[in-house]
Structure 1
Amino acid sequence: MKRSLVGPLVLLVLLTACGSGTVPTALPGGEAKPPNPTILLATTTSTQDSGLLDLLVPDFEEKTGYTVKVIAVGTGAALAMGERGDADVLLVHAPAAEMKLVESGDVVDRRRVMHNDFVIVGPAEDPAQVRGMTDAVAALKQIAQAQALFLSRGDDSGTHKKEKALWQEAGVQPAGAWYQESGQGMGATLKIASEKGAYTLTDRGTYLHLRDNLDLVILVEGDDRLQNIYHVMVVNPQKHPGVNAEGARAFADYLTDPQTQKVIGEYGKDRFGQPLFFPDAGQE
């Protein structure tokens, strides 16, 4: 009799445990999944449009058990989400604007992740004759003087902030039929510029990722003003109590981990012959 009861009793115990929901799920390596598994990432469109997040996010999710909900908007909108506490972690590229949130206490643990650069692209015909210029400010002056069509993102993104700073340095207030705004992300703006035969400012990574489908070429590059630096920041849980700070820090740790940094530095080499981003973790 004792022998015949062992099977049913063990089965009953297992069924009870499974039905109670008390048996923790685990990752492939045996670690328990995080108790608060969803992370809201607000980021610039360039990290999405370049394809980088399509590579990194699934790897992070598999390794940690977190699920990342990506909201790809302009950097200005991403920073505003952080300021309101509507995101857990930010990945953005507007250093001066970022520092305002650091100083206000809305974000903490700001870390440099990577960089690439901005370039001015346009039609191969190059009506403003800026091809080969390495002074972005002089190139924009020349585009304005020629009243050659220029398409701005016009969305308060990091790219738009950079463009406005360059126009200001050039002493030009762009306006008129030759200056138009898309109000959209980098990928969409490049496609519209291609259709219109317009010049635009873009990060190199997004352009390279999409160039096979664009009638645009790089015309202006190599200006130190065009460096494009990305930082990750945790939204401050002390100021915004609903934030998943543990998950946010896990994502920041992942981005700055040496193994991930190596992946970032290799991304794009096989397809474009050059990386789309350069790893910067640990740099100021």
Structure 2
Amino acid sequence: MIRNIVQATLIAVGLTATEASAEAPFIVVQSTTSTQNSGLLDYILPGFEAETGIDVRVVAVGTGQAIRNAINGDGDVLLVHSKPAEEKFVADGWGVQRFDVMYNDFVLVGPKSDPAQVKGGTDIVAALTAVAEAEAPFASRGDDSGTHKAEMRLWDATAAEPTAASGTWYRETGSGMGATLNVANGMGAYVLTDRATWQSFGNKDNLEVLVEGDPRLFNQYGVILVNAEKHPHVRAAAGQRFIDWLIGPHGQEAIASYKLDGQQLFFPNAD
């Protein structure tokens, strides 16, 4: 019934469904949970949409899943935060070119009781080593997200083998950052999180930032146009227009101006 009403309305104004959709261009952006859950995309996208008339439809998942979705052709633009995986995506021909967009950092959050005694440290590898030696609870996303990839790189720099302890002190949630923070809060566990999600997370209760400031906690975000040679249906022109806006002055200014509780969450650094 509703579809018939819509079709009748289009006919009344002399438009076909195809013409109507052509007047409402859109792109699909495969992105990470941190850009969505932090509120950043809700803040900056209306500016782009008002300026260009292009609607942006966001799929917010972990970086690994976002990349797989883009490989499958389920998106026009990729906006994620795992540079090695992004560079491989381009090298394998799935993306056209990668651009830096912005950065923030990861932090090690944990229980206020701090059984591993890492509070105030700036050496993330030493802190993770202490967590493993104490066999203190640690909650991992375990979902191949950008944060999970960063966590595993940091564990690789230690002598610990946390996945061998899976199900004991090391718990893999297979969930997003917010859900994993909730698990950590409930079980008094340590957890690696991006600062933007932590800042916007409402259920802090027993958790606090314990380790920060290590250069190895740097968290870079990149943007890539999905290659239309692989997927001809990709909206390449509209997707490139979004990328140009994002790494241009308007997008970069919008990113810099987004704050939560007076704290800037992302720092633009497009070249």
TM-score, length-scaled by structure 1: 0.85
CA-based RMSD: 2.3
* C-alpha deviation, 1:212, in angstroms: 6.0
1:42-88 residue CA offsets vs partner (Å, 9 max, x unmatched): 11111011110111223322222222221111101111112222111
Aligned to 2:105: 117
Amino acid at match of 1:56: I
Gaps of 5+ in 1: 1-16, 26-32
Structure 1: 4+ residue segments shifted above 3 A = 33-36, 211-214
Identity of aligned residues (%): 52
Aligned to 2:13: 19
Equivalent of 1:100 in 79, 85, 88: 88
* Aligned pairs (5 A) from 1:243-282: 243-268=234-259, 271-282=260-271
Amino acid at match of 1:239: K
Gaps of 5+ in 2: 1-10
Instruction: Indicate yes or no: 2:158 matched with 1:170.
Output: yes
* Aligned pairs (5 A) from 1:47-126: 47-126=35-114
8 Å CA contact 2:122, 2:214 repeated in 1: yes
Amino acid at match of 1:162: A
Larger Rg: 1
Q: Distance in 1 between matches of 2:206 and 2:25?
A: 42
8 Å CA contact 2:138, 2:191 repeated in 1: yes
* C-alpha deviation, 1:211, in angstroms: 4.8
8 Å CA contact 1:49, 1:186 repeated in 2: no
Q: Distance in 1 between matches of 2:59 and 2:198?
A: 20
TM-score, length-scaled by structure 2: 0.89
8 Å CA contact 1:75, 1:94 repeated in 2: yes
Q: Distance in 2 between matches of 1:87 and 1:180?
A: 32
1:172-195 residue CA offsets vs partner (Å, 9 max, x unmatched): 110331000111111221122112
* C-alpha deviation, 1:239, in angstroms: 1.6
Aligned to 1:45: 33
Q: Distance in 2 between matches of 1:194 and 1:34?
A: 48
* C-alpha deviation, 1:260, in angstroms: 2.1
Match of 2:157, SS?
A: helix
